[in-house]
Structure 1
Amino acid sequence: MFGNSLKKLFFLLLVKPVVFIVLGLNLYNRERLPRSGPAIIAANHNSHLDTMVLMALFPIRQLPKVRPVAAADYFLRNRLLAWFALRVIGIIPLDRQGGASREELFAECQAALDNGEILLLFPEGSRGDPEKMQPLRKGVYHLARSVAGVNVTTVVMHGLGRAMPKGGSMIVPFNCDVVVGEAHVPGDSADEFIDRLSVAFDEQLARCLTRRVEE
């Protein structure tokens, strides 16, 4: 209970003002975000701001049910960061070292989905170069298939890689785009599903105003 209250206060008093006032978002199709779980948000990943921006899109009352899936080796590397990531942000730590089976790797994610939660997942696997997409991994497909009734909503963000690039620690005010796509139902083929998500990401990226200005 204490953790949920702290999470709500953190986003209400700090994260939302920074995201919507300091950054300034061009936000498209916010109404497509799932209002309840189980559900998965699949987004591109260029910046430490990505998770904060995605969570800021949800109403404060819904935040306890919104769970980012994040790298255990990064967010649990010291006690203070681990406390903040687990108790305030509410991450689900994912072991990227490769020693666990698929069932072990996604066990906590599956439990969260069974509990009606919304997972935030970055199917590229890690942050890439600013504003450049990397190939999508198939873990998002296997996770979506592991719990009945789970759809995957794609979200594309552009500009956050410049507002806080990889390795950066300061936020640079820079207009950013967030385009929410449609929900995708995983079928019988992982390759077909990943291709479908990749096409959706490309189409949503083409809608980003900041990208068109760059071109």
Structure 2
Amino acid sequence: MNRMLQMLFFALLVKPLVFIVLGLNLRGRNNLPEKGPAIIAANHNSHLDTLVLMSLYPLRQLHKVRPVAAVDYFLTNPLLAWFALNCIGIIPLERKKRLAKTDLFSACHAALDQGDILLIFPEGSRGNPEQISTIKKGIFHIVNERSDTYITPVLMHGLGRALPKGEALLVPFNCDVVIAKALQKMASANDMVSQLKSSYQDLQQYCVTLYTPKCDSDHPSHQ
């Protein structure tokens, strides 16, 4: 990963877009993990999700925030692969191969071992705009083997309208990013899913865009 290229990309394009164009309603920023090993578990409606979450970190720390992304999507096209690896710094995941869990998540464990913060979307892929899809259990198989790693839930709302699935044109809607405190250790994969669902539901009360008309009258940004 090219750290200077990544810093320039976020400084000149992503951060101005997130904090000026989108009009971000940010709550619970102090709950973001400041250092790893840690996992951020966010719902997923738009390609903007990753950029918005990474933009919450200082430029000097971006290389330590590693989105976990599907090989079959991000590494099949050479140009997209170069961008994903060099500007975003993804950890590629072979989600369509039948691999043992130790092999499937080996790169995730290696990143956590060196103090990185993993960004994982537990739904697996983008669902319908502004709806939470079925939460998968993969994160549990990572944290279950580690006593040093906790999951921080993040709920986002509005990004599915700002850049809908299948669209390339950004629409400047207001968006919510609400960050919860890290989950306590869970007893099972089902317990993890239950805790994440409950956390997402609790965070909805802080979403400005969830309770306003779709015309999105102006709201103050909180940073």
The alignment's TM-score, normalised by the length of structure 1, stands at 0.96
* Deviation for aligned residue 1:207: 1.8
* Deviation for aligned residue 1:7: 0.7
* Deviation for aligned residue 1:193: 1.8
Q: Counterpart of 2:167?
A: 168
Deviates more, 1:73-82 or 1:115-124: 73-82
How is 1:12-161 mapped onto 2 (pairs within 5 angstroms)? 12-161=11-160
Q: Counterpart of 1:5?
A: 4
Q: Is the 8 A contact 1:43 1:156 kept in 2?
A: yes
Letter in 1 for 2:159: L
Q: Is the 8 A contact 1:55 1:66 kept in 2?
A: yes
The runs of 5 or more residues in structure 2 that have no matched partner are 215-223
Letter in 2 for 1:118: I
Does the residue aligned with 1:17 lie in a helix, a strand or coil?
helix
Distance between the aligned counterparts of 1:161 and 1:32, measured in 2?
23
Consecutive aligned runs of 4 or more in structure 1 exceeding 6 Å deviation: none
Q: How many residues align?
A: 214
* Deviation for aligned residue 1:95: 1.2
Distance between the aligned counterparts of 2:147 and 2:4, measured in 1?
30
Distance between the aligned counterparts of 1:133 and 1:146, measured in 2?
27
* Deviation for aligned residue 1:185: 2.8
Does the residue aligned with 1:153 lie in a helix, a strand or coil?
strand
Q: Counterpart of 2:220?
A: none
* Deviation for aligned residue 1:96: 1.7
What are the superposed Cα offsets for residues 164-202 of structure 1, whole Å, 9 maximum, x if unpaired?
011011110000000001101332222112101110011
Q: Is the 8 A contact 1:110 1:147 kept in 2?
A: no
Q: Is the 8 A contact 1:141 1:186 kept in 2?
A: no
Q: Is the 8 A contact 1:150 1:185 kept in 2?
A: no
Distance between the aligned counterparts of 1:194 and 1:99, measured in 2?
22
* Deviation for aligned residue 1:147: 2.6
Distance between the aligned counterparts of 2:99 and 2:122, measured in 1?
18
The alignment's TM-score, normalised by the length of structure 2, stands at 0.93
The runs of 5 or more residues in structure 1 that have no matched partner are none
Distance between the aligned counterparts of 2:88 and 2:180, measured in 1?
24
Q: Counterpart of 2:217?
A: none
* Deviation for aligned residue 1:129: 0.4
Distance between the aligned counterparts of 2:184 and 2:38, measured in 1?
10
* Deviation for aligned residue 1:98: 3.5
* Deviation for aligned residue 1:141: 1.1
Distance between the aligned counterparts of 1:175 and 1:211, measured in 2?
10
Distance between the aligned counterparts of 1:56 and 1:154, measured in 2?
17
Distance between the aligned counterparts of 2:178 and 2:113, measured in 1?
27
Distance between the aligned counterparts of 1:214 and 1:72, measured in 2?
38
Deviates more, 1:80-89 or 1:115-124: 80-89
Deviates more, 1:77-86 or 1:156-165: 77-86
Identity of aligned residues (%): 56
Letter in 2 for 1:86: L
Task: Report the aligned-residue RMSD.
Answer: 1.2
